[in-house]
Chains A and B, each alone.
Chain A
């Protein structure tokens, strides 16, 4: 790996770390590597509610730079019940923490993506877009994803989810924040009642031709449908 690639080290929940992390970091710092420190505060866990979790989120983000020599922080507030980052509460925590740090520093902020639905489903793409919109609107500099199907199912991730993440971010950049919030309200309301029956989606081999690495006609159609809905909610994604 080169100095312009990133090495990742995780904190532990909440405001905790172990010696293994310090050992890795000491080597990377000496080597001049770019360091990304990760921390995913748990909403509904030790911190408690939305505001308390956001407070811990800001604290752990600052610790990444001050204590652990990080060059950028990878966030990812996660919902204790659903195990996702795309829930209303976790989006609100991440957006508030990012906006607070962005307003007071020039630190580089990233966020990671764990939607509940799997690939080749409209719900997965809408969830991913919602987080991209919230992250972009709140001033984050890097979006990392996406680990569809909660990031735990084998081969349930594809490039198409990153496409919607990027296109939603591009369409959001420069919008007025009150307008972004209006889009988010409609968008989150469209999927948040479906967690208990979230579609598991398809595997990579079912979504792409593995030989040519081209997405299936079915997935392209699902993608177009998701873009159409996002544009109806007030975004302006151009295909």
Chain B
């Protein structure tokens, strides 16, 4: 059956509000492991020794198992303790609406984010940075510059400033936001120093 439209964030919220109530422990310790094991058996998945699969059937069976996991199991909301259900057509519509190409950054510093389709000769985008690891505020710019100046790096991912003006950048405090804004300014300074002011962060 045709679906009305791709799911928006608001549709997702509405689905959570009307979803079935499930204890979180049941989700974690019973529903997730039980369903994953059933699907492993249904699709006869056994990866063997290869790190990267070499046969199409393993790839297709794993994809089918993952899709079925999402559709059969749904998604859990830890705040209202309810489970959203999504059907397969909605999953495919969501895939269809997703842009398959993005441009990260601007001008000569942009990176083209296109599907590689297997191990194509086109290298992946290299997003350099501490990936959320803690960085002292006194050397934040220099740490980020060390990535921005690397020729192989295309875009930046910031670290987490451990303090802001000496205050711990604690979650759910005003200093969290102050630190975040300082991180953005720091990344901007770092890429400017590296001569790549329009790189994406």
- Judged by a CB distance under 8 angstroms, whether B139 is at the interface is yes
- The residue in chain B whose Cβ has the minimal distance to the Cβ of A105 is B95
Contact with B along A126-168 (1 / 0, CB 8 A): 0000000011111111111111110111111111101101110
- In the bound complex, residues from chain B placing their C-beta under 8 Å from that of A160 are 146
- Judged by a CB distance under 8 angstroms, whether B18 is at the interface is no
List 20 additional contacts besides A66-B7, A146-B131; criterion CB under 8 Å.
A15-B76, A16-B78, A19-B13, A19-B80, A49-B40, A51-B47, A52-B37, A58-B67, A59-B66, A63-B70, A68-B12, A100-B60, A103-B59, A106-B100, A135-B124, A140-B116, A142-B127, A145-B128, A163-B150, A210-B142
Q: Are B115 and A16 in contact (CB under 8 A)?
A: no
Contact with B along A176-213 (1 / 0, CB 8 A): 11101100110010000000000000001100101001
**A120→B95 CA distance, assembly (Å):** 41
B89 to chain A, nearest CB (A): 10
Q: Are A162 and B147 in contact (CB under 8 A)?
A: yes
User: Given A51-B47, A184-B51, A154 and B125 touching (CB < 8 A)?
Assistant: no
**A152→B99 CA distance, assembly (Å):** 34
Total count of chain B residues near the partner, CB < 8 A: 104
Q: Are B114 and A141 in contact (CB under 8 A)?
A: yes
- Judged by a CB distance under 8 angstroms, whether A96 is at the interface is yes
Q: Are A204 and B129 in contact (CB under 8 A)?
A: no
- Judged by a CB distance under 8 angstroms, whether B2 is at the interface is no
Q: Are B94 and A155 in contact (CB under 8 A)?
A: no
**A198→B37 CA distance, assembly (Å):** 33
Q: Are A15 and B115 in contact (CB under 8 A)?
A: no
Q: Which of B13, B40, B94 contacts A66 (CB 8 A)?
A: B94
- Judged by a CB distance under 8 angstroms, whether A107 is at the interface is yes
- Judged by a CB distance under 8 angstroms, whether B177 is at the interface is no
B107 to chain A, nearest CB (A): 10
Chain A positions within 8 Å of B, measured between CB atoms, are 1-2, 4-6, 12, 14-19, 22, 25-26, 29, 34, 46-63, 65-72, 88, 91-92, 95-97, 99-108, 110, 112-114, 134-149, 151-160, 162-163, 165-167, 169-170, 172-178, 180-181, 184-185, 188, 204-205, 208, 210, 213, 215
User: Given A101-B63, A181-B51, A162 and B159 touching (CB < 8 A)?
Assistant: no
- Judged by a CB distance under 8 angstroms, whether B173 is at the interface is no
Q: Are A157 and B149 in contact (CB under 8 A)?
A: no
Q: Are A48 and B37 in contact (CB under 8 A)?
A: yes
**A137→B128 CA distance, assembly (Å):** 19
B190 to chain A, nearest CB (A): 9
**A43→B194 CA distance, assembly (Å):** 38
- In the bound complex, residues from chain A placing their C-beta under 8 Å from that of B56 are 103
Instruction: Find the residue from B99, B106, B150 having the highest chain A CB count within 10 A.
Output: B150
- Judged by a CB distance under 8 angstroms, whether B184 is at the interface is yes
- B136-166 residues with Cβ-Cβ distance < 8 A to A are 136, 139, 142-143, 145-150, 152-153, 155, 157, 159, 162
B151 to chain A, nearest CB (A): 8
Q: Are B142 and A71 in contact (CB under 8 A)?
A: no
Q: Are B9 and A69 in contact (CB under 8 A)?
A: yes
User: Given A54-B62, A62-B70, A143-B124, A96 and B139 touching (CB < 8 A)?
Assistant: no
- The residue in chain A whose Cβ has the minimal distance to the Cβ of B115 is A106
A160 to chain B, nearest CB (A): 8
**A2→B49 CA distance, assembly (Å):** 43
User: Given A26-B10, A99-B59, A100-B62, A181 and B54 touching (CB < 8 A)?
Assistant: yes
- In the bound complex, residues from chain A placing their C-beta under 8 Å from that of B201 are 1, 5-6
Q: Which of A6, A65, A66, A173 contacts B122 (CB 8 A)?
A: A173
- Judged by a CB distance under 8 angstroms, whether B65 is at the interface is yes
Q: Are A166 and B152 in contact (CB under 8 A)?
A: yes
